[in-house]
Structure 1
């Protein structure tokens, strides 16, 4: 399950405990500007659980210095060794500009940060004089004995190629279909099941007794995605037809799409439909799946049971 950026921090421990006790494997915390911070939420989740792996999606590369990011990850690893999946990405560039840290080359900045943080977590003493990372004999006092994979939260072809070279995996934003996963791995120069390359994806979850109800509920969400369509949608073989349905019939056109289109897009429909989507993701090479509930705590609380049932399928 994903812990939505709009949720109050105090709700985190309830969600984490419920997932841990129910048998779900992972909780992903979200760091978006200017909401709650990922490391704080992750620390709270790790502190109140025994088995749950906690993913951080994602830390903007330039919002912290590389050593501070490495310190955050090393500290979180100390709370729950083997139970952490940290992600670093470009961050939304307009938000970076608001903070006065927008790099002239986001790609160069991300590569320098990923390389420096990876080396610091490996226990190296790092000296670096790059465009965005400048270090002089920096070494972590408590580097992890077994560092977690450092995942790149990216989506464009050049950024995915970068991830394939220097990151320990990727975090792919919602809606992440099996088609998009395969496309992303191709851009990264990787294959499903590559050792040392962890693939994590996000999706939205909506499980109902009747497919039509789920589709009707989620049609506005899909319409919003289409208005700013990126590769995670345009890579779909039915993207043009889907866009035409929306252009011609609006939300009704989306709500009445073929069930197989919805099943490709996200865990939406019946419980069996959602399970089929997750299985297809795993078949495409995905190891971690974070599902967004509705962005309202009361509704999300009720959806924890759906996430647990899917995790235990």
Structure 2
């Protein structure tokens, strides 16, 4: 399950305990500027659980120095050995500009950070004189004994190619279907066999497909207003866009079930399970399911996430 950026920080321990006791594998905490801090939420979740893995999606590369990012990850790993999946990405560039840290080349900045953090987590002494990472004989005092894969939260072809060189895997933002996963791996030049792929999806399960589709149609419309490769790589994207252009939200509420199954865990419980199976067949190892961004609604949706986790 994903912990929405709008949730109050205190809610993270309740959700983490519920997932841990119920048998879910992971909780993904979201760091978006200027909402809540990913490492703080992750520390809280790790401290109240015994088996739950906590993913961080994502730490913006240039907000912290590479050394501090490595310290954060190593500290979290010390709190929950083997239970941390850290993601680093570009961050939203206008937000970076608001803080005065927007890089001239986001891809170069992220690659330098990924390389430096990976080496620091491996226990190396690192000296770097790059465009964005400046380190002079820096070495962590308590690096992880078995460092986690460092995942790159990216989308575009150039960034995915960089991830293939410098990262241990990917975090793919929603909507992420199997076709998008395969395309992303192709752009990265990597195989899912040795590259940890995590994806996010927005979950909406109902007894009747039509109810779930009506609920999620406005969300899909917002995605189509600003399409990214997660949509444009769909085999039916042109037909989907044409339907939206001609029929609007009503057209999205009546798309074929197989389209929704490809795009997201939306529909019946069987439909959501079919979506997850298709992701696993494409090589996905981790899935974070976004609930409705309301505390009471999310609390109720924990049962759906646990049922899917137990399938």
Q: TM-score, normalised by structure 2?
A: 1.00
CA distance in 1, matches of 2:169, 2:268: 31
Within 5 A, what are the aligned runs for 1:1-313? Answer: 1-193=1-193, 195=194, 197-313=195-311
CA distance in 2, matches of 1:199, 1:183: 12
Q: Determine helix, strand or coil for the equivalent of 1:146.
A: coil
Shift of 1:89: 0.3
Shift of 1:211: 0.3
CA distance in 2, matches of 1:249, 1:167: 41
In structure 2, stretches of 5+ residues that fail to align are none
CA distance in 2, matches of 1:80, 1:210: 40
CA distance in 2, matches of 1:115, 1:190: 17
Shift of 1:198: 0.5
CA distance in 1, matches of 2:48, 2:277: 29
CA distance in 1, matches of 2:68, 2:227: 34
In structure 1, stretches of 5+ residues that fail to align are none
CA distance in 1, matches of 2:218, 2:42: 30
Aligned-residue CA RMSD (Å): 0.5
How many residues align? The count is: 311
Shift of 1:190: 1.2
Runs of 4+ in 1 over 3 A off after TM superposition: none
Shift of 1:192: 2.9
Shift of 1:166: 0.9
Q: TM-score, normalised by structure 1?
A: 0.99
CA distance in 2, matches of 1:207, 1:252: 19
CA distance in 2, matches of 1:121, 1:144: 6
Shift of 1:109: 0.3
Shift of 1:228: 0.6
